[in-house]
Structure 1
Amino acid sequence: MTLMDNRGELDKQARQAVTAVPVDLTEAPPAHEVTWRDPVTGADGFLVVQTLVGGLATGGTRMRKGCTVEEVTDLARGMATKTATFGLPVGGAKGGIDFDPKDPRAMGVLTRFCEAMRPWLDRHWITAEDLGVSQEQIDEAFAELGLSQSYHAAIGRSADPERALARVRAGLHVQTEDELPLPLGDVIGGYGVAQACLGTAVALGWPPSTTTVAVQGVGTMGGGAAWYLHEAGVKIVAIADAGGTLRDPDGLDVPALLAARDEYGEIDRSQVPGSVEQLPRDAILASEVDILVPAAVSYAINEDNVADVAARVVVEAANTATTAPAEDELTARGVPVVPDFVANAGAAAWAWWLLQGQVGTDPEDSFRRLRNEMQSKVAVILEAWTSDRVPPRTTARGIAQANREALAGAEIIVP
């Protein structure tokens, strides 16, 4: 049975999952764990493969000072659940490097890490950008190693790898047709987060035009989410980057602020209007808004600051943005958390659709499919919350469980 033949069964079992006893698919130890030490700088790097489906796993590579194998393991578990939630026939993995991405030696460290992981990148691991690592840097490292593209492991399974590579490259680099003139591959993840927020508003009966949002982070996820929410008429009242929080209760000029980002993704304060209040970075968490979007670092909401959270809903754009004890406290307070493996799954889902030829070079086709799939999943998990106070993460794990069972034995096809 092929994946496309199995699609109806996936949808049926996903709907049934909300009444099933959920199982955390990632309780098992990782399938594989690889550690590495850079011979030049001494930086440590990690690859954690939580699950393999048909011999493949997907997950980005991050770089930050202080990155640990425990963090990468958490992220790999999240990726495994993410791919299952969206019914993707691929497992979950993550790469991480303990090194400052602003250090001029960072590109060399990344390239040597990829070279060390080449046996995985050749046949099993599909990687992409993540915190501290851009897709351009990933592509540069792959080019230096003589690999075609970071989807290399999947493309190599195609009957016609050259045609598959051309299709993927065309889809990744097609320009969007809105006022955000960036390649579709750079914005689709943030667009998915925006749709998770819009789906949340609709599910809870809030008109988007009167819904307020605060976004922590202005990178690929946070910046893209803020852009598309602003475009949809949602009021973004606070944004935070490494330099602090910018707040305007009347709504920020999101396009102007994003245009003022420097090479490190921080907003140039000299271009911020005087009417915008400038606050400490962590003030974003205390924003009195309908939706808080943590889109920066992992564990941004934790036991030390969860009491400060004043939003009515948290939509996780960053991976593992909320610690488990903090989420338990929010749930007890009546604040649902839309988990990262739903809200930020847009880029991973879209990449697989592109690999399989299910979307092409028309951005609207990709936007439409992601919009429909994201909003429908958010509707299911929030319906269970509003009717029975079932935490969104619990329902979403049930969907992942049903999808993984339905995918068992499915043939992985890359045209």
Structure 2
Amino acid sequence: MALVDRDPLMRVLWTDPVTGRNGYLVVHSLVSGLATGGTRMRAGCTLSEVAELARGMARKTAVFDLPVGGAKGGIDCDPKDPDARGVLRRFVQAMRPWLDAHWVTAEDLGVPQHLIDEVFAELGLHQSYHAAIRRAPDPERTLRRVRAGLAAPVPGGLLLGDVVGGYGVAQSCLGVVHARGWAPEATTVAVQGAGTMGGGAAYYLHEAGLRVVALADAAGTLWHPDGLDVPTLLETRDRFGEIDRAQVPPEVRLLPREAVLAADVDVLIPAAVSYAIGGPQVPEVAAKVIIEAANTPVTADAEEMLAARGIPVIPDFVANAGAVAWAWWLLLGRVDADPVRSFQVLREEMLAKIPPLLAAWDTGGRTPRAAALLLAEHRNERNRAAEASGQGLLSIP
């Protein structure tokens, strides 16, 4: 069985002794003794969900040729709950043996990077990349580089660590635009989700001249055929990524939340929740291409139905992998606190990866997912061979 499709190496179920809420850690694979993957928090989070996300992380690290395996953490708790921070702290404490030596985690749905870093610092682990940083010859220097990179300011008043994932999704979209020969200013986009990933993607696509005509958050869909003023709308978001409707211009239409999925656009970017597009939603999809910015936003059966309709799906483990790839480039010293350098490297990587996936679809009828999985497995086989021969894959300066 292919490494990226095998059963996870380990599953851990944790129950919070204070609230009774459950948390999960799934380690799908280890490379160089390490696995990487964020920690999410949402009401209804399940072990099977976390296991599927861990598999996705193994695919991401393989596609981007990172010397690390895949893992994921999840907590069944509403991040708006007053108990949420305490639950997160106790979860991190319980997972400390893995976080200390093997699991590199980071932000995810419901858990911003600054919050998880605060919890790590309180527990004496300094930062959520701790398991990798401690392997560096000079951990303090590596820690400084990581902190400087995450906190580097970028245009728009945000931090590099908060926007790099959305920037990567935007570059995936631009890879599609270039491969299809579309004029950017004539290309229309709908984005489901206005948080870190969706908001970042919408912002950078707007900056690139594309028309973001639909943008949805938990309260509904904002729509304007000439394109939304994305930067201004994003400035009104609260800490949960919801746009202040009192500050929405009157010419912008307020539509139901689900309307974004049926928008008649060139590109649809589901960037909110997993399984947003299932079989029942497929007949409503009008986009020419779907780019998965959330983790598994399109179910397997829906992707098959979309393929039958001639709509390719750029898989999440390519499109939204910019954040994890950049984090490891930062750890490995390929990038630093210079946003220009980070954006350049990520743009080059994404623009190189998307055209071959669409070419496989256009010429051989192979889905972008199938083409990307072949690439992932090839690189996993190479890494296994290197480790078996005693070659070190991980070198953190």
Show the counterpart of 1:388.
364
8 Å CA contact 2:4, 2:376 repeated in 1: no
Amino acid at match of 1:388: G
DSSP 3-state at the match of 1:386:
helix
Q: How far apart, in 1, do the equivalents of 2:74 and 2:359 lie?
A: 36
Measured in 1, the distance between the counterparts of 2:240 and 2:331 equals 30
Do 1:313 and 1:336's aligned partners in 2 also have CA atoms closer than 8 Å?
A: yes
Residue 340 of structure 2 is aligned with which of 361, 364, 375? 364
- Does structure 2 conserve the Cα–Cα contact (< 8 Å) formed by 1:33 and 1:46? yes
Task: Read off the aligned partner of 2:310 and give its amino acid letter.
Answer: G
Counterpart of 1:29 in 2: which secondary structure? coil
Instruction: Determine what percentage of the aligned residue pairs are the same residue.
Output: 63
Amino acid in structure 1 at the alignment position of 2:110: G
Which residue in 1 is equivalent to 2:395? 413
Question: 1:12 maps to which residue?
Answer: none
Deviation at 1:146, TM superposition (A): 0.9
- Conserved 8 A contact 1:218-1:258: yes
RMSD: 0.9
Q: 2:5 aligns with which of 27, 32, 42?
A: 27
Match of 1:8 in 2: none
| 3-state DSSP of counterpart to 1:26 | helix
Q: Check the 8 A contact 1:25/1:81 in 2, yes or no.
A: no
Distance 2:9 2:2 in 1: 15
What corresponds to 1:319 in structure 2?
295
| Match of residue 110, structure 1, among 76, 79, 88 | 88
Aligned with 2:324: secondary structure?
helix
Taking the aligned partners of 1:139 and 1:319, their CA distance within structure 2 comes to 22
Map 1:128-207; keep pairs closer than 5 Å.
128-176=106-154, 178=155, 180-207=156-183
Q: What is the distance in 2 between the residues matched to 1:25 and 1:386?
A: 27
Q: How does 1:192-271 map to 2 (within 5 A)?
A: 192-271=168-247
Deviation at 1:390, TM superposition (A): 1.1
Q: 2:290·2:311 contact (CA, 8 Å) conserved in 1?
A: yes
| Maintained 8 Å contact 2:195/2:240 | no
How far apart in 1 are the matches of 2:169 and 2:2?
23
Match of residue 286 from structure 2: 310
1:236 deviates by 0.2
2:26 touches 2:73 (CA, 8 Å); kept in 1? yes
Q: CA deviation at 1:26?
A: 2.9
1:308 shift after superposition: 1.1
Partner of 1:189, secondary structure, is helix
With structure 1 as the length reference, what TM-score do the two structures score?
Answer: 0.93
**Which 5+ residue runs of structure 2 have no aligned equivalent?**
none
Q: 1:24 to 1:272 in 2, by over 3 A?
A: farther
Q: CA deviation at 1:24?
A: 5.0
Equivalent residues of 1:24, 1:397 under 8 A apart: no
- Asked if the contact 2:3/2:377 (under 8 Å) is kept, the reply is yes
What SS does the corresponding residue of 1:47 show, helix, strand or coil? strand
Measured after TM superposition, the shift of residue 304 of structure 1 is: 2.1
Give secondary structure in 2 for the equivalent of 1:30.
coil
1:292 aligned residue: 268
Three-state SS of the structure 2 residue aligned to 1:325 is helix
**CA–CA distance in 1 between the matches of 2:122 and 2:62?**
33
Point out the more displaced range, 300-309 or 252-261: 300-309
Deviation at 1:362, TM superposition (A): 1.3
Are 2:109 and 1:127 equivalent residues in the alignment?
A: no
**1:137 Cα deviation after fit:** 1.0
Query: 1:404 aligns to what?
Result: 380
Secondary structure at 2:279's aligned position in 1? coil
| Structure 2 residue 74 is matched with structure 1 residue 92 | no
CA deviations on 1:312-348 (whole Å, 9 max, x unpaired) are 0000000011100000000110000000000000010
Q: Displacement of 1:264 after TM fit?
A: 2.0
| Alignment check: 8 A CA contact 2:184 2:208 kept | yes
1:4 corresponds to: none
2:46 corresponds to which residue? 68
Asked if the contact 2:4/2:377 (under 8 Å) is kept, the reply is no
Corresponding pairs, count:
391
Which amino acid is 2:347 matched to? R
Farther off after superposition, 24-33 or 372-381? 24-33
TM-score by length of 2: 0.97
Question: C-alpha separation between the residues in 1 aligned to 2:86 and 2:119?
Answer: 8
- 1:407 shift after superposition: 2.2
Cα deviation code 1:51-76 (max 9, x no counterpart): 10011000000000000001001100
